[in-house]
Structure 1
Amino acid sequence: MNMTRLITTTALALTLAAGSAHAESHTNGEKVEQNLENAGESLEKAGENAAQATGNAAGDAADASEKALENAAQATENAAEATEQAAEDAAQATGNAVDDAATATANATDGMLQNDTNMIRARDIMGGTIYSANAQDGVAEFETVTYDSVGEDWENIGEIEDIVLSSDGQLQGVVAEIGGFLGMGDKHVFVPMDSVKLIPVEDADMALVVGYSEEQLVNMKNVDEAFWE
């Protein structure tokens, strides 16, 4: 009796335990399935978010590239306009400088023409007569004496053969042709400008007067073409 009850009780206990285990196993399976489903949804959402983020990034990059291109195009256009304006300004400045130079030259020319009594042309001197203010003894301190016309006692001793300039255009003196007769036996000597004075004569030509005597001029060194080479 006791043994039969024990067996019966044990069988009943095993049956209940098996039922509980089956129920618990069924519940755990549902949880695992739910967890898998949740994980799948999370992965799907993460994929959607990633795709959205990638799309946004691509869009932002495209917008940034387009903006950069627009800015570069605008900068190029601005630079071209600035260069064009600078070229126009430079051309205008050059034109103004040329006009100013031309005006200054014209004014200077007008000024010289208005004061032509102080200007002497080479053709007014070339071939002019050379006088000695004292052909016998010369004139002491000649540089301090002033002449405004040909003196009655002056002696014609030759003519102006050439005019000598320095390399910077300064008048240095004249070559005087003295002595001789009808082009025979004449002599050419160099007379510096501080030893001659220009004297106006008729027809707007110029003559020269020197403070040397004729003998002093004749004794000067002869200059010919070789002298200047």
Structure 2
Amino acid sequence: MTTTALALTIAAGSVYAQSENNGEQMEQNLENAGESLENAGENAADATANAAEEAGDAVENAAENTAAAAENAAEETEQAAENAAEETGEAMDNAAAETEETMDEAAAETEETMDEAAAATTDMASNDTNMIRVRDILGGDIYSVDSQNGVAEFSTQEYSEMGEDWTDIGEIEDIILTSDGKISGIVAEVGGFLGIGDKHVMLEMQNVQLVPVEDETYKVIVGYSEEELENMQSVDESPMN
């Protein structure tokens, strides 16, 4: 029994010693865990502080960059507006100069046209005595000039009054104009009697002359004889092309 009690005592001592050792180990472990947590907290705090500082720096840099970009954009916009204003001003000045030049040219052309019209009116008024109306010769008599050399002599002379020995050989039936409005010749009605058997022939203007008579009408004179006129080719009433 004494031996058993001794064994129990020894065993109990061993258990106690083991328990004490375990307690110290646990205490050490807890202490180590606390230090680890403290270190982790400090590290997390440092990381958070660093992240916050970096974020603040990034925000500050972004703000500075944005402000610089806005300032540059404002300067560029202002410069563009100044350039546009200068270009617009130059364009307006050029347009005004061109308009003024065009108006001056138009005024000069208008003045020149008016001067020409005035001169033409003056010429018409001064040359009124040289103008002849168609009504003053249409239907008038045609006379043959008694010239020994016929048309050749007739074309070299000018006649200002009727001759007593001229022969009435027909009348002016029509007047022929060119496409540009100039008189090309006259159509003479010759031969026949009382409108029966008459003939229409064309006489070119270089072969006729106009002689004024007392009632302000005109007679046509030619260097052809009546027989020569009747032998000319006749013209009909169809249009002349």
**TM-score, with structure 2 as normaliser:** 0.66
Question: Contact between 2:147 and 2:154, CA under 8 Å: does it hold in 1?
Answer: no
| Secondary structure, counterpart of 1:144 in structure 2 | coil
> Which of these two proteins has the greater Rg computed from alpha carbons?
2
Counterpart of 2:27 in structure 1 is: none
Q: CA deviation at 1:58?
A: 3.4
CA distance in 2, matches of 1:109, 1:179: 43
Counterpart of 1:120 in structure 2 is: 132
Q: CA deviation at 1:181?
A: 2.6
User: Which stretch of structure 1 is more off in the superposition, 79-88 or 132-141?
Assistant: 132-141
Give the 5 Å matches for 1:21-170.
Answer: 52=64, 55-134=67-146, 138=150, 140-170=152-182
Question: Contact between 1:137 and 1:212, CA under 8 Å: does it hold in 2?
Answer: no
Count of equivalent residues = 192
- Counterpart code for 1:86: E
CA distance in 1, matches of 2:152, 2:104: 61
Q: CA deviation at 1:94?
A: 2.3
CA distance in 2, matches of 1:136, 1:56: 114
Q: CA deviation at 1:74?
A: 3.6
CA distance in 1, matches of 2:107, 2:199: 55
CA distance in 2, matches of 1:95, 1:125: 43
- Counterpart code for 1:150: M
Counterpart of 2:208 in structure 1 is: 196
**TM-score, with structure 1 as normaliser:** 0.69
Q: CA deviation at 1:52?
A: 4.6
| Secondary structure, counterpart of 1:224 in structure 2 | coil
Residues 93-115 of structure 1 show CA distances to partners (whole Å, capped at 9, x for unaligned) of 32442332132112112112112
Q: CA deviation at 1:117?
A: 2.8
* Uncovered stretches (5+) of structure 2, i.e. residues with no partner: 1-52
Q: CA deviation at 1:219?
A: 1.1
Report sequence identity in percent. 51
CA distance in 2, matches of 1:109, 1:184: 46
CA distance in 2, matches of 1:194, 1:219: 19
Q: Closer, same or farther in 2 for the Cα pair 1:172/1:61, shift >3 Å?
A: same
Q: CA deviation at 1:144?
A: 1.5
Q: CA deviation at 1:72?
A: 0.8
Q: Does 1:180 align with 2:192?
A: yes
CA distance in 1, matches of 2:60, 2:239: 107
Residues 147-194 of structure 1 show CA distances to partners (whole Å, capped at 9, x for unaligned) of 221111001111111221222233221111112233332211101112
Residues 172-228 of structure 1 show CA distances to partners (whole Å, capped at 9, x for unaligned) of 211111122333322111011121111111122221110111001011111121262
- Counterpart code for 2:238: A
CA distance in 2, matches of 1:46, 1:215: 125
CA distance in 2, matches of 1:121, 1:78: 60
* Uncovered stretches (5+) of structure 1, i.e. residues with no partner: 1-40
CA distance in 1, matches of 2:79, 2:121: 62
CA distance in 2, matches of 1:186, 1:88: 68
CA distance in 2, matches of 1:116, 1:176: 27
